[in-house]
Amino acid sequence: MMHGGQVLYLHDVLYAPGIRRNLVSVIVLLGLGYELNFYGVCMDIVLNSVCVGTGYLLNGFIVLNTELDGFNCSDGCFSLIASANNVNVDVNTWHARLGHIGQDRMNRLAREGLLGSFNKIELPVCENCLAGKTTRKPFGKGTRAENPLQLIHSDICGPMSVKARHGASYFITFIDDFSRFGHVYLISHKSEALDCFKLYLNLVENQLDKRVKALRTDRGREYLSDQFKELCDEKGIHRQLTIPRTPQQNGVAERRNRTLLEMVRSMMAQASLPVQYWGDALLTATYVLNRVPSKSVSSTPYELWTGRKPNLTFLRPWGCAGYVHDPSNKYGKLGARGKKCIFIRYSEHSKGYVLIGENSDGSVTEIESRDVNFLENEFPKRGEVDKDIRFYKLDNLIEDSNLNTPLDVNVDLSGTSVPSGSEAPLEVNIDLPGTSVPSGSNDVVET
């Protein structure tokens, strides 16, 4: 029975209890005289000018809106119409899904068969990347840790020129030296560094059933507080403080922050979201970076951290449109045809996506769902979107400037100008948007 009460009778069916979803052939339906009318991702099935049912596109299938025994079974009884599958993703879409990482990294993924049918990537010039990238200084190589949690790098970046939508103006990163798996927390004040480190320790020590042995940071005041020292003493964590004016000593953390900000700027150049969404973009970039190879690790950070290969087919371009269909999501039913939303980050505690949907009064609701049909080439606007975004790290306060080492990281989203204060030390903090966004950890990146 279709949603809406019409009954669609199927003849000559095969009984296949091993298949989790029922499949209906589009070709057979057409042969029986049905018409399929599409508008956007939605579809009507029409017979003799009467609409007998509806469906929508999802992951390369058309999903029928059906009901069985009076309950909506779109998430349980799975009626699908088979169609072409989801292989026709082009290079540019993969590039966007991967947060605008470079061709070399994409080729490493392609060689491992993680980018669908591609085994070699030739990336066309990407204007969003041109807008997002800063020039890089090479960093020397140090000795590498041999086990996870043997050495953690941390750095604070900020304040940013624009606060994230829930108030953060800094972010703090923690990167495992061995795997280069990273976690990022958005914060409003540098003083939150201690709490973030406690959260991080609890999380990773429990997850890996190992203890953090050493922490490398610069001499930022927030890392030098008595409380920070006490925590490390209590936990037996060896401190490695970099010598002032030699930023390469803290190179792993600082490079990570720079890479993250470059990705954020490229992602924001492509999307149409307000610059206040940089916190969401940053968490997304972190998530992606943990799943792609870097120069410094043999496979991906995710694999070294979890022992499993990352599933890249789950990735979607930041800021693209998506129709949310999951009727069981906590925000209630969104209607059979779904609601058009904007993808803003991966969900932290489950395998799903976080999107924003606009309410009729113009306010925004965050929706978490794994049942989303994406339009990966469409980047909708919301509210007033200022594409001429100025987003960069502000100069550090004087109190810090003689403690921290200068880093020439400039983040200017407009891509036009780099603040001349590029000699200022880098420290950024970001706060996570949103209520449902635990200022929690997401993965981070590596260069």
**Residues near 287 by beta carbon (within 8 Å), at least 6 away in sequence:** 345, 346, 442, 443
Q: From the CB of 90, what's the least distance to Zn ion, in Å?
A: 13
| Shorter beta-carbon distance to Zn ion: residue 94 or 305 | 94
For Zn ion, the closer CB: 185 or 374: 374
Q: Looking at beta carbons only, is 134 or 154 nearer to Zn ion?
A: 134
Give, as one character, the DSSP assignment of residue 294: -
Distance CA 358, CA 322 (A): 13
Residue nearest to Zn ion (CB): 126
Structure-token match 């000699």, residue found: 423
Query: Minimum Å distance from CB 338 to Zn ion?
Result: 28
By beta-carbon proximity to Zn ion, the closer residue of 129 and 355 is 129
Dihedral class, residue 180 (left if φ above 0, else alpha if ψ from -120 to 50, else beta) = left
Helices (H) and strands (E) in the chain, counts: 10, 19
**Least distance from Zn ion to the Cβ atom of residue 127, Å:** 8
Instruction: Please give the residue ranges that form the binding site for Zn ion (CB under 5 A).
Output: 100, 126, 128-129, 266
CB of 268 to Zn ion, least distance (A): 11
First to last CA, the chain: 53
DSSP state of 447: -
> Would you say the C-alpha torsion 402, 403, 406, 410 has a positive or negative sign?
negative
Instruction: Return left, alpha or beta for 38; rule: phi > 0 is left, psi -120 to 50 is alpha, else beta.
Output: beta
Q: How far apart are CA 162 and CA 264, in angstroms?
A: 13
To Zn ion, the closest distance from the beta carbon of 266 in angstroms equals 5
DSSP secondary structure of 5-73: S------S----TT-SSEEEEHHHHHHTT-EEEEETTEEEEEETTEEEEEEEEETTEEEE-BEETTEE-
Q: Give the residue with the Cβ less far from Zn ion, 101 or 232.
A: 101
151 close to 395: Cβ distance less than 8 angstroms:
no
Write down the least CB distance from residue 282 to Zn ion, Å: 17
CB of 201 to Zn ion, least distance (A): 35
> How far apart are the C-alpha atoms of 187 and 440, rounded to whole Å?
10
Residue 286 C-beta: closest distance to Zn ion, Å: 17
Shortest distance in whole angstroms from residue 129 CB to Zn ion: 3
Closest to Zn ion by CB, 101 or 283: 101
Pick the closest to residue 220 from 395, 402, 392, 411 (CA basis).
402
Question: Is the Cβ of residue 216 or residue 265 nearer to Zn ion in the bound state?
Answer: 265
CA distance 195 to 231: 10
Distance (Å, rounded) from C-alpha 347 to C-alpha 351? 6
Of 66 and 284, nearer to Zn ion (C-beta) is 284
Quote the least distance from Cβ 106 to Zn ion, whole Å. Answer: 10
Give the shortest CB-126-to-Zn ion separation in angstroms.
Answer: 3
Q: How far apart are CA 279 and CA 159, in angstroms?
A: 13
Query: Residue 336 to residues 84, 265, 361: CA-CA distances in angstroms?
Result: 22, 35, 22
Q: Give the residue with the Cβ less far from Zn ion, 128 or 410.
A: 128
| CB atoms inside a 10 Å sphere around CB 270 | 22
CA dihedral 304, 249, 411, 193 (to 10 degrees): 70
Minimum CB distance to Zn ion smaller for 132 or for 158: 132
Give me the least distance between CB of 184 and Zn ion, in Å please: 21
Nearer to Zn ion, 62 or 267 (CB): 267
Q: Which lies closer to Zn ion via its Cβ, residue 415 or residue 433?
A: 415
